[in-house]
Structure 1
Amino acid sequence: MHLKRRDVLFGLLGFSLPVISSSCANRSEAPNLSSTTSPTPQPGLSAVRIGYQRFSELDLIRTRGELDRQLQQQGVKVEWSFFQSGPPMLEAMNTGSLDIAGVGEAPPIFAQAAGTQFFYIASTPRGLKTQDIVVPKTSSIQSPEDLRGKKVALQRGSSAHYLFVQVLRDRNIPIEEVEIVPLSPADARAAFEQGTVDAWSIWDPFLGVIEATGNVRNLNLGRDRRAFFLASQNFVNTYPDRVKAFLLEAKLTEEWGQQNARAIAQQFSEELKIDVAILEKANQRRGWGLLPITPEAIAAQQRVADTFYELAIIPKSIQVAEVTVPEQIYAQLYPST
C-alpha cells in the first residue's frame, strides 16, 4: 500500500487512526527554564494530565497512586486519560489536552512530522518478543515473502507499523505489494479472527492474548526496541519541577516492577479480564528500567524517522534532535542514580 505524501499529511493532522550530547543539544531550542527548580507549587497548575495505555508503565504508576499522593499534597491532582494506542494519545497532546504520554518508537515520529510540540524525556527497554506479526495457525503464510498480495492489519503510526515496514525493507519487498489495513488493536483482532485480514502486526498485551488462543502462529519477527515518555514542550518549559517529580516516580516504579512481575499481573488481571499467566509472561519478556535520552536513543529514533520518510509514509524529513531537551536543562530533570 503506497501513500502519497499529501494524503499522509492529511492523516497526520488528525492521526485518528527518557544525557543528551552537546551536538544534539545545539539543535534544540532551549526551553525558558531557570537554573534551579522550585519545590513549591507553581501558580496556575491545578492538574497534570497524563495519557496511558493499558498494562503500561504509566498504567502501573496510575494504579500505585504514589504520584497522585505526592502532587495532591502540593495542591495538584493528576488527571489520567486512557488510550488504546499511541497515535491518538499524541493527537490529544497536539491539541493541548495532555501534558505527559507514554508511547512506542513510531508515534513520536508521526507526531513530530505533524507539528506536535513535545520533548522526549525518558525511555524504557522493550524485548524482541513483545511484538510480532502473527497469522492464523492454518495459514499458508510461512515467511515475510508470503505476505505479498496479502492484507495485514496494524495500527498506523504505531511500533507495529514500524516493525512491519522494517521487515519488508530487510527483505526487499516493496510496500506496495502488501495491503495495509489500518485498524485499532480491538478492531484488528476482530478482523483477524473473522478472516478479513491475513496477518496482524501487534504488541503486548494484545499479542499475548491472541497467542493464548492457540489459533495463531508467530512469524518470530520481533526486535528489541524502546518505548518513550514524552512531555509537551509547554509543560516542560513552565513546570520543570512536575516533570522531575514524574520522572523520579517513573524510575521508582520501574525498579519495583522489575522485582514484581507476578504481582503486577495479578493486579491487572481482573481489571483487564486477561489471565494472570498471560500478563506475567508479557512482564517477563519485556525490559524494565528508566533510561535517559542518550545520543544512541536519538540516533535510533532518527533511523525510524528516515525509514518512514523514505517510504513516503510521513510527509517530510524531520530531525529528532530538535525535540530533545538541551543537556544542561535535562540534567536538572532526570533522576540521579
Structure 2
Amino acid sequence: MITPRNYSPYTTAVITARPRKETGLKFKPMTIADIPVIKPYLDQAFGRTCDFTVGGMFMWIEYFAYTYCIVNNTLFVKGVTEDDVTRPAFSIPMGKMSLEESVKLLREYCRQEGYDLIFSAVPEVYVAPLKALGAATVDKLEDWSDYLYEAASLASLSGKKLNKKRNHVNRFEAEHPGYRFEPLTADHLPAVKEFFNATHLPLSKPAIADVEREQVMHVLDNLEAYGFEGAVLSTPENGIVAFTLGEVKGDTLYTHIEKMNHEVNGAGETVNKLFAVMMTERHPEVMYINREEDVGDPGLRHAKESYRPVELLGKYNVAF
C-alpha cells in the first residue's frame, strides 16, 4: 500500500502542512537611482563610520552585492561580509523599527533562507545591544577601521605633530605661486577624468583596487546623482595635480575620494588641507573628518596614520 504524504497513523485525517510564514523581506538590487529613497535612512544611523553614507554604500554596490528592502519604514540592506565576500551578511537596519524587532525579523528570514544571521561593518555602539539580543560571536574587522580626525586640525595643520605636513604645503605654495584651488564643477570633469586615468596608482590588493578605480570613474560620470562636493588643485605648469570628493553627514565630513600626482611635492597635503578649510567654512557644523579605512594597504595605512587621527572607528562582524 502506498502511504499518502503527510498521513499520520494516529488519525484518519490527512495532516495539512503549515504554510510558510513570510517575513515580508523581499530584497531587490540597489542602484544609484535609489539614492533619494535610501539616503534619509542612512542619515538616521548612529556613529561616524563611512558605511552609512551615500558614498560608503553606493560606491561599493557591486563589490558587496548590496540589495535592499524597506519594511515598516525601516531600511534593510543585504550584502556580504567585508572580509569574506562569499558569506551573506546584513547592515544594521535603519529606521522606525527597534533593533530587537528588526533582528527578530532578520533571524526568521535567515532561517527560511538556510544560513546564519551575520551583521557586517557593525559600529562599536551596536555591538553590546546585539550581544544582549543573543549574538553568539563578535569579530573585529582589523583592516576596515575608519580614521577619524578633528576638522580644525586638518584645516590648520597646526602643532608639532603635523609640522611635516605643514612644511609640504608651504613648499607647494612656494614652488607653485600661480596654483589654483577651486570647487569641482561639471566643467572640470573631462580634465579630472583625464588626470585620473593618467595618474591612478593601484592598491596592494588588486581586487579592491580594480573596484575602487571603477567606482571613482562611476562617481565622476554620475556626480549629480551622488551629490558629492569636491575640489580641484592645479598649477600653471602641470594642470590638475589633485582632486577630492566627499559628503557631509551630521558633524562629519566623509572624504570618499582623494587623488593626486605623487610626483608633485605637496599636492596631496595641499588638497587635503584646503578641502578641509573649504568644507568647514561651507559647513560650520563639521567637527570631524572621516578619511575612511586603509583596507590593509601599507601605503594607505602609513598616509592615514601620519595625519594623527583622534580615533580609529572599529567595525565588527556580529553573528547569531
More strand by share: 2
Give the structure-2-normalised TM-score.
Answer: 0.26
Q: Report 1 or 2 for greater relative contact order, CA contacts < 8 Å, sequence distance ≥ 6.
A: 1
TM-score by length of 1: 0.25
Task: Kindly name which structure, 1 or 2, has the bigger radius of gyration based on alpha carbons.
Answer: 2
Which structure carries more helix by proportion? 1
